[in-house]
Structure 1
Amino acid sequence: MNISAILKLTVSMALFGSIGFFTVHTGIPAIELVFVRCICATFFLGGLWLLVGGHKTEVWEKKEIFQTLICGIFLVLNWVFLFKAFEEMSISIAISIYNLAPIFVLILGALLLKEKLTIQGLVATVTCFIGSMFIIGLNNFISFSAFMQSGFVWAFLSAICYALTMLTSKTITKLSSYALTYIQTTVGIVMLLPFIDFSLFEGLTTMNWLYILGTGFIHTGFVYYLFFDSIRSLPTILVSVLVFVDPVVAILLDILLLDFMPSFMQTMGILLIFGGIFYTIYMPKNKRLSQA
């Protein structure tokens, strides 16, 4: 077992779990924050890519470059929608819905890639759907306006875009992780530039800028470096379990530092969602290994 890789992945997930806490203290809207994040990550990861000499050994294929550009669009939209969700609802609730992405990978894989959807996958999907209903609260579904203002749509869209990011990057094998992320964050800069209101950066405090640069260099640059440097040395099942450090840290910070207190129904919803996700990721593989 590669202890160093385990520690790197655990640290990266723990750091990423604090992104919601940083986001609410930046003082700028979602699109502007993602724009700065893309700039910081492009410089950080691009610099590392040049430093390790990876740019000299890259294998460039038109098909993979096109896939990476599409993947970059989904990745940036995923970030924008997630940060929009943080603006409308508590971090714990947004993160819980965001982590439905593995379930959407199952569903979209079945619809788009003709992959087989198992009984376990269907059970997990229904479980997570019921959990999401508990989290938002049935009263928010009485009127359309209440539903739209709940932030559920933004969190839901972020989860779908995250799933599409995973699906579109699934077959990219020639490009290194550095090149892949560098292209994606560059796409983000070009894509968001026309929508940026630069006046929103005026009057920000030093603390605002520290939180903004933190989301860029720490949560994107450094976290992505640790993540990509570790996952290739670890078995998939271990990676799948360790990524749960992210939502656990996010929920704990939300409760301890931002005074969020989930209701009984929301707590049940969170447990149902993560129970369904964990079952999807771990149990079917465990059964297949046992049968083998």
Structure 2
Amino acid sequence: MSRFKAAILLILGAFCFSTTGVFQSIAPEEASPWIISEARLSVGCLCLFLWCFFTGKLPQNWKTLPWKYILLCVLCIVSYSPLFFFSVKAVGVSTTAVVAIGVTPLWTATIEKILYGNDPPIRWYMATFLAIAGIVHMNAESFTGGTSLIYSLLPIAAGFVYGVLLVTTPKVLEYLPAETTMMIVMGISSFVMLPVLFISPFGWVFTKQGILVVLGIGIISVGLAFSLFMTGLKYTGSVIGSTLGLAEPVGAALLGILVLDEPVSQLQVGGLHLLFASIVLLVLGQIALQDFIFPNKKNKSTKI
């Protein structure tokens, strides 16, 4: 697969991720972040299991799987979900998605540098600078009105956990397809989080509105999202993938504005433009250059 096509898959996956906050916002009032997290993992795992079963992608030898990396991915998934959903309740869909995903490229590059000594390409610095500028614009008015410091830090912590996930997942993708990887990770994560059923009410799941939310968040924002995103990540690398993941806050902000009727200021509109520019810089810059102008030039590195 060319890196340009992989980048498109990453962006499509990121837009599917962006529906998460919207589904939570339309969930019944008694829906807690814990139950939503468990529901999205369970339904997402079931969706991916059915896909893997009918396409012959289930593992043949479970003993040879890279369990060390799989369990680290599980820890990231279990940690990320409550961090994200509690943040949404406190600071809103747009702000949570923008901050959590916006800081992820910085965390990812830092982790890659510490663990493997890898330096991002120059183009990444330019794109990340635009992204940070966009984040500053979009959040200039967000953390006002008495928002607790702990809730302000939650999306930043979620970004760190997501960065660890993006660095770890490619290790598992060396052994398994993206769909199979996420099916296993989500299945174990769902099992780990089962105790939340005893501490939070979940009767709302069986209402019409609850069923819509659970199916939507499981199939679209988990099953489809992770399959597309992780497949693209395999061919672009974690640092570039995390930056292209900025399509998620762009999508979340647009959905928050268009679907949820969240207020928008000129600063937020300017921030969206900067975030979009950072994505365009990566996708239509060096990726397009290498795939179309020099299509036969081999590059052993996964960096773009």
Contact preservation (8 Å) 1:67, 1:168: yes
Matched, 1:106 2:109: yes
Aligned mate of 2:55, from 41, 47, 52 = 52
Q: Does 1:201 align with 2:202?
A: yes
CA deviations on 1:52-89 (whole Å, 9 max, x unpaired) are 23235457535x12101101211232233222222122
- Structure 1 vs Structure 2: percent identity of aligned residues? 19
Contact 2:138 2:271 survives alignment (8 Å): yes
Unaligned regions of 5+ residues in structure 1, if any?
Answer: none
Q: Which has the higher mean CA deviation after the structures are superposed, 113-122 or 153-162?
A: 113-122
**Structure 2-normalised TM-score?**
0.74
2:49 maps to a residue whose letter is G
1:1-292 counterparts in 2 under 5 A?
A: 12-27=13-28, 28-55=31-58, 57=60, 60-61=63-64, 64-100=66-102, 101-117=104-120, 120-122=123-125, 124-125=127-128, 127-137=130-140, 140=143, 146-148=147-149, 151-172=151-172, 173-197=174-198, 199-203=200-204, 205-225=207-227, 231=232, 236=236, 246-276=248-278, 279=281, 283=285
Q: Is the 8 A contact 1:85 1:155 kept in 2?
A: yes
Cα distance in 2 for partners of 1:120, 1:9 equals 18
How many residue pairs were aligned?
286
SS in structure 1 at match of 2:159:
helix
**How far off is 1:6 after superposition?**
9.3
- 8 Å contact kept, 2:127–2:281: yes
Structure 2 distance, partners of 1:245, 1:54, is 28
Q: Are 1:23 and 1:212, in contact at CA under 8 Å, matched by a contact in 2?
A: no
Post-superposition shift, 1:104?
2.3
Give the AA of the match of 1:33.
I
Provide the rounded CA distance (Å) in 2 between the counterparts of 1:215 and 1:252.
Answer: 18
Is the Cα contact below 8 Å between 1:82 and 1:155 reproduced in 2?
Answer: yes
SS at match of 1:80: helix
Structure 2 unaligned residues grouped into runs of 5+: 298-304
- State the TM-score, normalized to the length of structure 1: 0.76
Superposed CA RMSD in Å reads: 4.1
Deviations 1:80-119 (A, max 9, x none): 3222222122322222223322232112212232212555
Q: CA 1:276/1:288 → structure 2, altered by over 3 Å: closer, same or farther? A: same
Question: In structure 2, what residue type is equivalent to 1:181?
Answer: M
